[in-house]
Structure 1
Amino acid sequence: MSVSEAELSVEVPRAFQALLTQPSPEVAAQLYEELGSSQRERLQKEAAQAAVAERQRLAEVLRQARDFSGAARLLDGCGAAALVAELYVQGGRYVDAAEAYLRAGEVERAAAAFERGGAMERALEAYRGLGAREAMAHCLVRLGRPYEAAQLYRELGQPHAEVEALASVPSGDPRHLESVLRMCKLLDGEGFTRRALALLADTMRGSETARADPALAAEKARLLRRLGMDAEAEAVIARLPSNAAAPESNGYHYLKAIPIFGELSLDDMKDLYRVARQVLIPAGAVLLEKGSAGSGLFVLLEGAVDVFSGPEADARQLNTLGPGAYLGEISLVQDAPVSAQVRARTAVRALRITRAGFQHYLDTHEAAALRIFRLFTHNLAARVRALST
């Protein structure tokens, strides 16, 4: 039996039957191709009400005619979700393909299709369910959430990707200066000290807030020393006001930012903060003595400290730290001697959590203790990997 285009255009139900009764799928496909778009749309609506076997036969005609999306719609609900997904991909309908992949139980392919179709929130949700953190980070960057992406790259031990993500944090973001500080440390750690210094100088040049930030000034001094520019470093430190208020003067957010506390709930975090006590340390006083037993955690709120390789007068200076820096966190969870000598360069105000106070906190916060020890182990393993590569 053969039908003409004119016969096909007379009545949609008749056209539907005419295509189904063609002995050659190629001829049926050609006839379908010759229909107008409105006729094809009406034919598909009619076919959607047909029996599964008829829909499958017509779907093959549409597939040969390269109307992949039309074929996919006809097969949707016929128990061939994976095939439907592939047809939607061929038709460029990636979000529909992703939904079909989900129905087929192929979550990884669904996530990729959501991403390809620009449905980034859906892709992020799917990748999160898969535990695919690198793909999650990529989605977060595309969603305009680079700081969150950078945190994932940090957990994955990918400093280059972390720097790229942090570089996308806009200057108006409240975490911009924190991002710049982290980028400087990463670049310096990768051997790009001059690039880190240039980034810091550019940031401070363009922002009054950045110029007044003690942590950025302390980092600038550290980088200058790394380059052998001790006189310039001293000049930067000298310009730091000894009584400048830290951006987080009560220290809660500094404490919250310490990696081993990164999974504590709000209530557990508040309880930990209550364990801390503010201390005042005069200029020249030793906060941590190399080789001695660790006494707990210090979180700097105001002032600056110098870190030396040992207590000797000619010991090498390793670093200068300012507000937001923390020291001695390892002694909270591990009985080990202090690995460096830390002395107050200026008068220092700090939060302190003693080892005894922290142990009591762990004893009374079982869920928090498990999270802290898990993150401590994770971070320790990351350090070991970094040293071995």
Structure 2
Amino acid sequence: MAGSESEVPESSGERAGAEGTLQALQSLMGLESAATAARLYEELGAAQRERLLRDAALTPPDVRQRLAEVLRWARDFSGAARLLVGCGEDARMAALYVQGGQYVDAAEAFLRAGEADRAAAAFERGGALERALEVYRGLGSGEAVAQCLVRLGRPYEAALIYRELGHPHAEVEALGSVPAGDARHVESVLRMCMLLDAEGFTRRALALLADTMRGSEVARGDPALAAEKARLLRRMGMDAEAEAVIARLPSQSSSPEANGYGYLKAIPIFGELSLDDMKDLYRVARQVLIPAGAVVLEKGAAGVGLFVLLEGTVDVFSGTEDDARRLNTLGPGAYLGEISLVQDAPVSARVKARTAVRALRITRAGFQHYLDTHEAAALRIYRLFTQNLAARVRALSI
């Protein structure tokens, strides 16, 4: 039966041949004939070279270091790097792996050599983006982290980093990659419009809004997008057009159920806020429309703030797998993600829109600004949050 070469046992002749070639190479090295030894190595077949490398790995470090130089001459860079394992020459090994195109192996060697920056670049070049991201974060390389996040398909997270770094152009580019089905799409479009307008590109911001609203019925009915379009039109002196945009918006009932104020007020951690503080908090919130099937919160991801459901329903799942268990179905009045407002912790479940959803949203950044400017309210919120957390712990321990 035919088999692969690695499955065929070596004959005594093949073993003797490999050992003889190794001895010949060592003799040539003794005569300081590295170039001649390299030519002898080049004449070997792939299987012979592999057997020689396995035998050479058993020789003392000084022999392997000299053999590695022969293989470098022969341009078998990866083979030369293998011979340096355990020789204390990780930096040299890494450079050889780079020459051989084995970037992930090179990255691991760079890490052992204490060259984390070169390791991260090698991981990224080799496609090991999660490993690269981990190393870049350890180095505090914000821009490199953001670039990795974009390549990993996580543009919104990248945009947040660019915002911290004060790079509006890069932030706009990252936000432009947030897909229409993402729960943060509308927020991303609004942020891009603000940045473009601030840089003097008001017409480009209007064009972006027009494209967004043209491409989605949900976006066309989003009051936040319409309000931004009206603001930009007024900035350009087009007051009549701005009023026409506002006039096309569906009228909103003033009941708490329609505008979300009553639902927001009922959340336990806001239970001691004064009327003025509660009204200020409500002004921080923005209405968002989430299409059916969109993921609102992803298990294990960083929390993105509070969602209060006004219309529609969402399903809560135990995990991200297709067969994950459905834990609950929530409708108007339910709220999600309140813990992420005051605690930096990963989301504990996956939440997906079962139907089109209208929700009130408070982002972490908006809430933090509210806390920074409302000291008394912040103390009340943190006290109630601590009490509620303690009650949950007690309930779990019974």
- Amino acid aligned to 1:92: G
Identity among equivalent pairs (%): 62
Q: Structure 1 residue aligned with 2:21, among 8, 15, 18?
A: 15
The whole-number CA distance in structure 2 between the counterparts of 1:219 and 1:78 is 63
Match in the other structure for 2:283: 298
The whole-number CA distance in structure 1 between the counterparts of 2:227 and 2:214 is 16
Instruction: Tell me the secondary structure at the aligned position of residue 209 of structure 1.
Output: helix
Asked whether the 8 Å contact 1:72–1:84 carries over to 2, the reply is yes
**Structure 2 CA distance for partners of 1:86 and 1:249, relative to 1, 3 Å:** farther
Asked whether the 8 Å contact 2:97–2:106 carries over to 1, the reply is yes
Q: Structure 2 residue aligned with 1:358, among 370, 378, 390?
A: 378
Return 5+ residue gaps in structure 2 as ranges. 1-12, 289-359, 387-398
The alignment status of 1:202 with 2:211, answered yes or no, reads yes
TM-score by length of 2: 0.66
**Structure 2 CA distance for partners of 1:296 and 1:200, relative to 1, 3 Å:** closer
For residues 328-366 of structure 1, the C-alpha deviation after alignment (integer angstroms, 9 at most, x for no partner) is 9867535xxxxxxxxxxxxxxxxxxx6532244467889
The alignment status of 1:211 with 2:211, answered yes or no, reads no
**Structure 2 CA distance for partners of 1:164 and 1:208, relative to 1, 3 Å:** same
Match in the other structure for 1:169: 178
The whole-number CA distance in structure 2 between the counterparts of 1:91 and 1:364 is 59
**Structure 2 CA distance for partners of 1:165 and 1:209, relative to 1, 3 Å:** same
The whole-number CA distance in structure 2 between the counterparts of 1:180 and 1:118 is 30
Corresponding residue pairs, total? 295
Shift of 1:11: 0.8
The whole-number CA distance in structure 2 between the counterparts of 1:329 and 1:25 is 66
For residues 214-257 of structure 1, the C-alpha deviation after alignment (integer angstroms, 9 at most, x for no partner) is 100100000000110001111111222331699996589x99xx
**Structure 2 CA distance for partners of 1:61 and 1:355, relative to 1, 3 Å:** closer
The whole-number CA distance in structure 1 between the counterparts of 2:225 and 2:243 is 14
The whole-number CA distance in structure 1 between the counterparts of 2:379 and 2:146 is 35
The alignment status of 1:242 with 2:230, answered yes or no, reads no
Shift of 1:69: 0.6
Shift of 1:274: 4.7
Instruction: Tell me the secondary structure at the aligned position of residue 173 of structure 1.
Output: coil
- Amino acid aligned to 1:130: L
The alignment status of 1:28 with 2:28, answered yes or no, reads no
The whole-number CA distance in structure 1 between the counterparts of 2:230 and 2:119 is 49
**Structure 2 CA distance for partners of 1:302 and 1:51, relative to 1, 3 Å:** closer
The whole-number CA distance in structure 2 between the counterparts of 1:329 and 1:59 is 58
Match in the other structure for 1:292: none
Match in the other structure for 1:101: 110
- Amino acid aligned to 1:89: V
**Structure 2 CA distance for partners of 1:328 and 1:52, relative to 1, 3 Å:** closer
Match in the other structure for 2:188: 179
The alignment status of 1:61 with 2:81, answered yes or no, reads no
- Amino acid aligned to 1:58: L
Match in the other structure for 1:83: 92
- Amino acid aligned to 1:239: R
**Structure 2 CA distance for partners of 1:21 and 1:275, relative to 1, 3 Å:** farther
- Amino acid aligned to 1:119: A
The whole-number CA distance in structure 2 between the counterparts of 1:274 and 1:300 is 17
- Amino acid aligned to 1:357: A
Asked whether the 8 Å contact 2:227–2:246 carries over to 1, the reply is yes
Task: Give the alignment of 1:1-389 within 5 angstroms.
Answer: 11-22=17-28, 23=31, 24-243=33-252, 250=260, 272-274=269-271, 298-300=283-285, 332-333=371-372, 355-361=375-381
**Structure 2 CA distance for partners of 1:45 and 1:215, relative to 1, 3 Å:** same
**Structure 2 CA distance for partners of 1:297 and 1:174, relative to 1, 3 Å:** closer
Q: CA RMSD in A?
A: 3.6
TM-score by length of 1: 0.67
For residues 27-66 of structure 1, the C-alpha deviation after alignment (integer angstroms, 9 at most, x for no partner) is 1011111111111111101111112121111111101111
Asked whether the 8 Å contact 1:140–1:146 carries over to 2, the reply is yes
**Structure 2 CA distance for partners of 1:208 and 1:364, relative to 1, 3 Å:** closer
The whole-number CA distance in structure 2 between the counterparts of 1:101 and 1:244 is 62
